[in-house]
Chains A and B, each alone.
Chain A
């Protein structure tokens, strides 16, 4: 089957710290992988995506690499800001269906 597992939160970091949010998946076939972000009081929005193995998605300083060998798509950022505080969802798309992880809340303190 298809599923996404991401690290539980909340994750609390100080500003300028390095961020990693782990995401692993199981899937049949060749899924596309996504990170979505939900800022407080706002709807979900796409952060980045990767469509095939070894692709790297990047946006706003965030990066994630599609690793087929480890079935992972970990989200990283070298230096977080207070404005990055949000809930981050890892997701895969396979045969026109999306499967989302349970979300990881990130709190960045000044």
Chain B
């Protein structure tokens, strides 16, 4: 596709509910990254995929967070039993490969609000 897309753009949910966030990377990009950006703060790395594998899951904040990727394309980030501190903008980025110098292209983000 022309760019990285994410859906939904906004999600409001009640505490304790599960949410699923979707990312469609640029076609042909093998690496995909998820970040969290809390209000007024920088980006917090969550997880990255090379192909369909996630070599490093150390950034996931808790076991309520999980992510998967299929077909070296779309990825979903799932947050179970959401808490108010999960409220943030969740950003997805993709790059051609997960090389040291490769450039990331960011999606517009999903703004998650947990009431």
B56 pairs with A45, CB closer than 8 A: no
Within 8 A of B (CB), among A81-104: 89, 91, 93-103
With a CB–CB cut-off of 8 A, which chain A residues contact B108? 42-43
Given the interface pairs A32-B101, A43-B106, A44-B91, the reply to whether A97 lies near B42 with Cβ below 8 Å is: no
Shortest distance from the beta carbon of A15 to any chain B beta carbon, whole Å: 26
With a CB–CB cut-off of 8 A, which chain A residues contact B59? 97
A96 pairs with B100, CB closer than 8 A: yes
- B41 is an interface residue with CB less than 8 A from chain A: yes
Chain A residue at minimum C-beta to C-beta distance from B4: A43
Given the interface pairs A43-B109, A46-B103, the reply to whether A103 lies near B42 with Cβ below 8 Å is: yes
A100 pairs with B104, CB closer than 8 A: no
- A49 is an interface residue with CB less than 8 A from chain B: yes
With a CB–CB cut-off of 8 A, which chain A residues contact B109? 43
With a CB–CB cut-off of 8 A, which chain B residues contact A58? none
**Interface residue tally on A, bucketed by range:** 20 to 34
A93 pairs with B45, CB closer than 8 A: no
With a CB–CB cut-off of 8 A, which chain A residues contact B104? 46, 98
With a CB–CB cut-off of 8 A, which chain A residues contact B50? 96
With a CB–CB cut-off of 8 A, which chain A residues contact B60? none
Given the interface pairs A45-B106, A46-B103, A51-B101, the reply to whether A98 lies near B45 with Cβ below 8 Å is: yes
Q: Which residues of A contact B (CB under 8 A)?
A: 4, 30-32, 36, 42-46, 49, 51, 89, 91, 93-103
Q: Which residues of B contact A (CB under 8 A)?
A: 31, 33, 35, 40-45, 48, 50, 55-56, 59, 91, 93, 98-101, 103-109
